[in-house]
Amino acid sequence: METMCGIAGYVGPRSAVQVVYDQLKRLEYRGYDSAGIAFLESGAIKVFKRAGKLGELGKLLGEFPDDTHMAIAHSRWATHGAPTDVNAHPHFDQFEQVAIIHNGIIENYLELKEELVHNGHTFQSETDTEVAAHIIGEEYARGVPLEEAVRRAARRLRGAYALVVVSRTERNKIVCARNASPLVIGLGEEENLLASDIPALLPYTRQVLVLEDDRIAILTPDEVVVTDLHGIEQPYVPMQVDWDIAAAEKSGYDHFMLKEIHEQPEVIRQCLAGRLDDANNVRLDNVFSEHVWGEIDRVNFIACGTSYHAGLMGKYLFETLLRIPADVFYSSEFRYGDPVLSPKSLAIFISQSGETADSLAALRLCKQRRIRTLGIVNVIGSSIARECDRVIITQAGPEISVASTKAYTAQVISLVLLALHVAQVQEMPGVRVEEVVSQLKRLPGLAEKALELEPQVQELAKKAAEAKLFFFLGRGVDAYVALEGALKLKEIAYVATQESPAGEMKHGPLALVEPGVFALFGATDAALRDKLVSNMKEIQARGGLAVSVTTEEDQITDKAADFTLKLPRVNQNYLCALLSIIPLQLLAYHLASLKGLEIDQPRNLAKSVTVE
């Protein structure tokens, strides 16, 4: 199960191993923790794989034959299963007749595996990819051409995947299949290529075909044929890509931050993938067993920065849904604060990088005190992921921009899944798990709608370009998102912000309001809107401007605010609040962009804070 891997494939007159290795290097920005390659030599498929940096595989390059004309390669950014040699791709089928690389999640792999084991298959790895390899191998052994074997297998696979397959006997053919995972094909002169992302094609060709879902492509040196899952040929028109390579890494976006903001619908999908079933239940592996949850008397969320803000959402979820008391600590305060910890408490560490020094130190303190620990981490194999007793990987894919955006969304979704999981195993009738799950399934589509607010946000950014001070306010769960919105603005647009629960305004911060200040109000919680209107009036009476970030049906703050951004409605207030971070991220981005700032590498900040 891999969600953000690098895929490469080449067939043509050049040295195929050199080309696919070069392609992987061009995908390095996506992150990787192991890599592998497959090519034909002396009538057999040779597979080499190495955990660690791409250079580990590169060390073998001198030993590979130069006269191979077909190869596939893969760099893995693990989300399930440790980054080891065995789990790295490519994987063989039972008879070593085919080798495959894969990006995505095959959701029904356990049932397929059971069937294969029953038929006598044995497996080397724990991966779903190997199951797909065996299914294709079994079909291929029946004597059908490779493309037909892939089609038959694809009809049985559920989930998201980009699969790339070569066989021992069809020397000049690569077959690939796609369903909801990225896969692009480069059309060259007497050569053809494929990759998970456009930058890996550009040194070789600018004629690119983005393969559609439920399509198979057959690449030979002379042509690329596309069919549907039943073998019916599908016409296509390649596009001419004019981007330079740096722009291509960002998929045409000007900055990684903007790309990552726009990836959020997909990130929500990835984070949910394999964790919800058709009956709207949550399936989280590898968290504590049922009786442990029954014992836990308090949950402490411990994190820094954006991850701390996700922790606030965690507290809200644990207290309001589960009625389990919860606290949130800054890691740096926790470790020096001599915290009072109940032996029955659970410490939850939230971290994108899994390497933040203060969070790691706080984790080690909890371990010394024999407190149970759970990590919510994006980078598998990172220190926090390894050292926590249990871990949930957020599956957001590599986050490159220093300002965290998609990782936050994935952290909050992971916390919602965790709370639902606990409600389920503890059989808490008050939490309507199925109903929340049905709303979660709608969320990627709703996040897409939230992104459609971008032109309005750009308008707002122009109006606010000269403002010296921004307030970020809200009540309840909106107040937590307000903190995250303010952090984004500070860190990339270098503007001063004042953030607090809206009710706190009168107790001091109101003194800062003067003409020209902008106040952003998170107003997604319908029950608290009346109260927000009075706070808006307080700002406006002193010459400030009020912006409401709310949901579509709101007729209350809508009338009071000077500017309104309306999000789609979802039943759970915490999910509405989560969506409201999208326009706030976009506002920070567009204000920074109007000022011509660096954005992906803001001054004085680092992506992974490994010092105290």
Q: Out of 306, 345, 557, 573, which residue is the one contacting ligand F6R (CB under 6 A)?
A: 306
Task: Tell me how far, at minimum, the Cβ of 497 lies from ligand F6R, in Å.
Answer: 13
Q: Is 113 a catalytic residue?
A: no
- Buried-state track 555-590, b at ≥16 Cβ within 10 A, e below 16: ebbbebbbbbbbbbbbebbbbbbbbbbbbbbbbbbb
Nearest to ligand F6R of 353, 424 (CB atom): 353
Residue 351 touching ligand F6R (CB under 6 A): yes
Stretch (H or E) spanning 174 = strand 174-179
Q: Judging by DSSP bridges, how do beta strands 215-219 and 174-179 pair with one another? A: antiparallel
Is 353 a binding residue for ligand F6R by CB under 6 A? The answer is yes
Q: Shortest distance, CB of residue 192 to ligand F6R, whole angstroms? A: 40
- The rounded distance, in Å, linking the Cα atoms of 105 and 102 is 9
Q: Which of residues 491-530 bind ligand F6R (CB under 6 A)?
A: 491
Tell me how far apart the alpha carbons of residues 177 and 161 are, in angstroms, rounded to a whole number.
8
Nearer to ligand F6R, 179 or 411 (CB): 411
Binding mask 358-377 for ligand F6R (x = CB under 6 A): -x------------------
Annotated catalytic residue within 53, 367, 595, 607: 607
Q: Is the dihedral of CA 102, 107, 109, 112 positive or negative?
A: negative
Shortest Å distance, C-beta 262 to ligand F6R = 17
Candidate ranges 82-90, 284-292, 305-313, 443-451; the one touching ligand F6R (CB under 6 A): 305-313
Which residues between 460 and 489 bind ligand F6R (CB under 6 A)?
487
Q: How many CB atoms lie within 10 A of CB 245?
A: 12
Among 403, 420, 443, 502, binds ligand F6R (CB under 6 A): 403
Which stretches of 14-169 are DSSP H helices? 16-26, 54-58, 109-118, 128-141, 146-156
Say which residue the tokens 């399930």 belong to: 80
Q: Which residues of 272-297 are buried (b: 16+ CB within 10 A; e: fewer)?
A: bbbbbeeebebebeebbeeeebeebe
Asked if 352 interacts with ligand F6R (CB under 6 A), we say yes
Site string for ligand F6R, 256-295 (x = CB under 6 A): ----------------------------------------
Q: Is the peptide bond before 13 cis (omega within 30 degrees of 0)?
A: no
Pick the closer one to ligand F6R by CB: 249 or 358: 358
Nearer to ligand F6R, 437 or 487 (CB): 487
The piece of 113-121, 183-191, 346-354, 557-565 that touches ligand F6R (CB under 6 A) is 346-354
127, 404, 498, 572: which one binds ligand F6R (CB under 6 A): 404
By DSSP bridging, strand 174-179 and strand 159-167 are antiparallel
Q: Which stretch binds ligand F6R (CB under 6 A): 24-32, 96-104, 161-169, 347-355?
A: 347-355
Active-site residue, selected from the candidate residues 5, 366, 388, 576: 5
CB atoms within 10 A of CB 204: 21
Strand partners, 210: 184
409 contacts ligand F6R (rule: CB under 6 A): no
Beta carbon of residue 134, minimum distance to ligand F6R (angstroms, whole number): 37
Is 307 an interacting residue with respect to ligand F6R (CB under 6 A)?
Answer: yes
Instruction: Give the Å distances, CA to CA, from 535 to 502, 503, 538, 550, 567.
Output: 7, 8, 5, 15, 21
Beta carbon of residue 6, minimum distance to ligand F6R (angstroms, whole number): 22
Rounded CA gap, 365 and 340, in Å? 12
DSSP state of 61: G
Assigned token pair, 503: 């009710």
Residue type, 427: E
We find the least distance from the C-beta atom of residue 73 to ligand F6R, in angstroms, to be 29
Secondary structure of residue 346 in the 3-state scheme: strand
Nearer to ligand F6R, 132 or 376 (CB): 376
Other residues' Cβ atoms within 10 Å of the Cβ of residue 478: 28
Q: How many residues bind ligand F6R (CB under 6 A)?
A: 15
Smallest distance from the beta carbon of 412 to ligand F6R, in angstroms? 13
Q: How far apart are CA 543 and CA 506, in angstroms?
A: 16
Name the one range near ligand F6R by CB under 6 A: 302-310, 436-444, 528-536, 584-592: 302-310
Q: To the nearest whole angstrom, how small is the minimum distance from the Cβ of residue 382 to ligand F6R?
A: 9
CB of 338 to ligand F6R, least distance (A): 22
- By beta-carbon proximity to ligand F6R, the closer residue of 394 and 557 is 394
Contact criterion met (CB below 8 Å) for 384 and 401: no
* Shortest-Cβ-distance residue relative to ligand F6R: 305
- Confirm whether 607 is a catalytic residue: yes
User: Which of 468, 492, 488, 489 lies closest to 603, judged by CA?
Assistant: 492
- For the segment 226-255, give every residue that binds ligand F6R (CB under 6 A): none
Closer CB to ligand F6R, 351 or 414, in the complex: 351
Stretch touching ligand F6R by CB under 6 A, among 27-35, 350-358, 366-374, 527-535:
350-358
Q: Any idea what the Cα angle at residue 487 is, between residues 481 and 489, rounded to 5°?
A: 105
Which residues in this chain contact ligand F6R in the complex, by CB under 6 A? 304-307, 351-353, 356, 359, 403-404, 487, 491, 608-609
Active site residue ranges: 5, 607
